[in-house]
Structure 1
Amino acid sequence: MNDTLAHLPDDPTILKAYIAQLQGRLSTLEEHIRQLIRQRFGASSEKAPANQFGLFNEAEQDQPDNPDAVAKAEAEITVPAHQRKKPGRKPLPEALPRVRREHDLPEQEKVCSCCGSHDLHRIGEEVSEQLDIIPAKVQVIQNVRPKYACRHCEGSIQTAPMPPQPIPGSIATPGLLAYIATGKYVDGLPLYRQEQFVLNRLGVEVARATTAQWMVRCGELVQPLVNLMRDHLLESPLIHCDETHVKVLRESGKKAQSLSYMWVQVAEPVPDHRVILFDYDPSRSGSVPVRLLEGFKGYLQTDGYEGYAAIGRQEGIISQGCWAHARRKFNEAVKGLKKGVKTGKAYMGMAYIQKLYRIEREIKDCSCEEKKMIRQQKSRDILSQLRQWLDKSLPQTPPKTLLGKALNYLNNQWDKLIRYCDEGYLRMDNNLAENAIRPFVIGRKAWLFSTSQAGANASANLYSLVETAKACGLEPYAYLKEVFTQLPAAKTLADIEQLLPWNQNSS
């Protein structure tokens, strides 16, 4: 303590400046501690309660021009009339098969004693439904192929060929492969759990290495479908892209503890279907999206990761930012405020962004032409006000604080963020890709890692197939079984195209 005091300056002016610097650092540290505490113990949702952020409650009175008119517009928001659904049990789906079981009266009770003995006549019935389930069962399919030979020459032995199989020579049928793939890539059940708690329970012993090899072979089998899906993806005018980490134990030149990455791309080439593609790569460098999106021309929506800068500089690519990430920065700044503080620039920034999102909610059912027109009329005005407020707030805010980071992110991404107003089919944020990658993240928590690069590539292909199928309204198991049955027999491009998820849905 004495040594520290001995190094303090004697000049009062320098000492005050030094203390002010320490106070600034202390304030920043306290802000980060409050944010971490709220992240650890507070609600994780970023959704703001209604009317939490008043647009014009800034302590410094940084209102835009004519605040009374805007406040009046805020107060005149109407809520469409709606009818509340009565609480109660939902009816069971009509598509489920029904098994009729009659519970009749005994014969001696079908007599009325009102004025003698008269038989009761059936005048109707009461039907109540219960839901039953038949547990999974296994069976052995015997493929019997008669053999024929000539009695005269005792030669020319002929046998009918086996139908094309997803894995030739394997004991696995398309149904079993689809069952295991659905368990892992849809339900998040690792292969060892399926081995122990599913297959063994049914009296079947299959080694985990065998099921792992089955999934690798299935991933290779569906590669032609994934290639066609990529062709459709690259034809879209807008692609959403995101990435997340994955561990691969056996990679050349990398330790088992190192991270590789799973990249996801989402597009809606036509209104009636969506393409979701996963790709594994050991790297997170900017060369990966350049390779994956080779030949693409249009809008590319991503977060602020600099790895997308390389593809953004290519001719024909228009980079678009994500307002959800900008809002997240301001939400972190709000969480870093002292308890009880309900005003300030963090709340002001959140209020502006909330107002932009409110317009998007109001026009979500409009056509692309109508969306573009309304954004040009309403959203552009709010963005202009936000830009003025941002230019005024940036010089007044220390850049290393949570608010400073939010303001700088907004400023650095500004040109990309405002591009959603250019076309009606563009989206305000990149949530489409973040939502698409979530099933993979949830599954990763269960199976933890891939053993090999082949396994990671197979997982990418199978995730692509099941997530696109789900987006097209298909039941994953039924779709995978159909693919594993029909794809080995496909001979033409038309045969393969017919197995695309949106074509299955239409048929």
Structure 2
Amino acid sequence: MNPLAKLDQLDLEPAAKTEVAALIQSLIEQAERDAKIIQAKDAVINAKDVKIAALTHELAYYKRIRFSTKSEALAPLQRDVFEETWNTDISAIEAEVEQLQDDQPCATVARPKRLRAGRQPLPPHLPRIEHRHEPEFCTCGQCGKDLVKIGEDISEQLDVEPAKFFVHRHIRPQYACRACETITAAPIPPAVIDGGMAAVGLLTWMLIGKFLDHLPLYRLEQIAARDGVSLSRSTLADWVGRLGVALQPLAERLAWHLRQRSSLHADETPVPQLDPGNGKTKKAYLWAYRSNDLQPGPKIIIFDYQAGRSGRHAQQFLQDWQGHLVVDDYGGYKALFAATRAHPETQYILESCIELACWAHARRKFFDLFQTSQSPVAQEALNRIAELYTNEAEGRDMTADARQRLRIEKSLPVLTNLHDWLQQTRLTAAPNSATAKAIDYSLKRWAALMRYAETGDLPIDNNPVENSIRPIALGKKNWLFAGSERAGQRAAVIQTLLGTAKLNGLDPAAWLKDTLEKLPAWPNNRIDELLPFAAPD
């Protein structure tokens, strides 16, 4: 009922009736305004509820993708990039949901509890800067009595300062002898670049930035310029060239040590090289040779830059080396395994290299087949190969003798059954089909695929050297090409030293700085002491 119409039924004086009518009208208008405000707020809340629900769904989708990725769904570098993107997107979505819920205390969507892993303690070797936060008053805010310290709540935050440029000023007082008219002064400490203005710390920063962080020299030039330091690219390039020559003997010595091992990994990756005559780039190759982690001794990675992919480059590097070589199916290595030579004493003909095939490559053929066709044959092969890797995981921390017994007991029967199954399955596979090609890849290399399981110190695959090459693939995206063959060889020398330092658990920057300080006055007959090997326990 209209309240103004009911007002006419009341016996009120005209003035009072007018006043009451105005009051009722204002209340009605206020109620209508409040209703519109509430309606608008409801619309905002509903919109936020819809957005929160959408973000929650998107977050679940990203988490499902992120945590359900399979081992070979993407190439290693792609997987690293996508995992970084997924983690960033998940955090951003969670932050958006939290902001919406903070602005909407009465939201109908319950705030999900964030699952956080326990925070890892910050490294104990880092310096600590203490900030003490004392209460504003030393008396109780309730009763006014003195406060008594009962403990401390300590939390830590990690911080960093950008690279600092500073100047070492070397002052050499000159002393004269009046009697014999001679002048005496302290000798100038030897430097890796004689007479240069760069201290060892700056040279280390430059090499680590260029060869470990994959920053071209022009970017290092820009970083220095932001701090008001002028480092021209030509000067930086001059330092890199001189340091490459100074470090060359260390890389050559590492290569000598590597060739003393009885089993090695080998692989190669293409590198664009500038071809000035054509104004384009041509394809060069960075060959990689790595020690076997299952055998004793420091870990070593050697990079050898060559203008092509011919097998003669591997022969030139290995020289007269004998042993087991783990490789993929690239034909350039076949000459190594075909080469024979006479034993100097018995004159018996010996194989120079014995091939070890890579189970990761054999597995990849079946994985690609399964991805494209969901083939039951591929699935069965993958399951059988997985048993081999399960055995390897079980024997990872065993001695070589114990690992050999494990392989003979568990892996050899799996391999025998797998070989029989592959042969039988091949008879039913259509000629030239993808299934036939995947099976043929393993059957043609079966002797080389079997060899590891007869020992306790040979690897199952070539993944260690492929993992060592992976940073090079990342670097190529930044520096685009090698400027010349000499530049590629110089980069290989420095990558060899830094890569070996990383493999042995050393801080490459700390090792390089220490080595550059010692190198100018270091005797050649003690060069092994400078190699990037971890100190023995």
TM-score range, shorter chain: 0.7 to 0.9
| Alpha-carbon separation, structure 2, partners of 1:207 and 1:44 | 46
Give the drift of 1:271. 3.3
Aligned equivalent of 2:246: 221
Aligned equivalent of 2:290: 266
Match of 2:154 among 127, 147, 159: 127
Kindly provide the amino acid, as one letter, of the partner of residue 170 in structure 1. G
Match of 2:236 among 211, 232, 239: 211
- Change in Cα spacing, 1:43 to 1:110, as seen in structure 2 (3 Å) is closer
Given the alignment of the two structures, is residue 174 of structure 1 paired with residue 200 of structure 2, yes or no? yes
Paired residues of 2:251 and 2:493 also in contact (CA < 8 A):
yes
Aligned equivalent of 1:76: none
Structure 1 runs, 4 residues or longer, greater than 6 Å off: none
Aligned equivalent of 1:393: 425
Match of 2:508 among 476, 495, 498: 476
Paired residues of 2:275 and 2:282 also in contact (CA < 8 A):
no
Give the drift of 1:90. 1.4
Given the alignment of the two structures, is residue 498 of structure 1 paired with residue 533 of structure 2, yes or no? no
Kindly provide the amino acid, as one letter, of the partner of residue 101 in structure 1. H
Aligned equivalent of 2:19: none
Paired residues of 1:189 and 1:446 also in contact (CA < 8 A):
yes
The TM-score normalised by the length of structure 1 is 0.76
Kindly provide the amino acid, as one letter, of the partner of residue 229 in structure 1. L
Partner-residue secondary structure (3-state), 2:125: coil
Kindly provide the amino acid, as one letter, of the partner of residue 358 in structure 1. T
Kindly provide the amino acid, as one letter, of the partner of residue 410 in structure 1. S
1:145-180 Cα shifts (integer Å, max 9, x gaps)? 3334444675x4454332121211222211111111
Aligned equivalent of 2:361: 325
1:413-455 Cα shifts (integer Å, max 9, x gaps)? 1111111112101111000110011111111111111112221
| Alpha-carbon separation, structure 1, partners of 2:417 and 2:224 | 62
Kindly provide the amino acid, as one letter, of the partner of residue 283 in structure 2. L
Identity %: 39
| Alpha-carbon separation, structure 2, partners of 1:118 and 1:347 | 75
Structure 1 unaligned runs (5+)? 1-41, 49-84
Q: Please give the root-mean-square deviation of Cα atoms over the aligned residues, in Å.
A: 2.7
Partner-residue secondary structure (3-state), 1:451: coil
| Alpha-carbon separation, structure 1, partners of 2:187 and 2:435 | 70
Give the drift of 1:355. 2.1
Paired residues of 2:281 and 2:481 also in contact (CA < 8 A):
no
Aligned equivalent of 1:89: 119
Kindly provide the amino acid, as one letter, of the partner of residue 287 in structure 2. W
May I ask how many residue pairs the two structures share in their alignment? 418
| Alpha-carbon separation, structure 2, partners of 1:266 and 1:246 | 19
Greater Cα radius of gyration, structure 1 or 2: 2
Aligned equivalent of 2:468: 436
The TM-score normalised by the length of structure 2 is 0.72
Partner-residue secondary structure (3-state), 2:288: strand
Matches within 5 A, 1:249-260: 249-250=274-275, 256-260=280-284
| Alpha-carbon separation, structure 2, partners of 1:267 and 1:309 | 20
Question: Which structure is higher in helix share?
Answer: 2
Give the drift of 1:272. 5.5
Partner-residue secondary structure (3-state), 2:300: strand
| Alpha-carbon separation, structure 1, partners of 2:141 and 2:265 | 76
Aligned equivalent of 2:89: none
Give the drift of 1:381. 1.4
Aligned equivalent of 2:311: 286
| Alpha-carbon separation, structure 1, partners of 2:139 and 2:450 | 80
Given the alignment of the two structures, is residue 410 of structure 1 paired with residue 437 of structure 2, yes or no? no
- Change in Cα spacing, 1:180 to 1:297, as seen in structure 2 (3 Å) is same
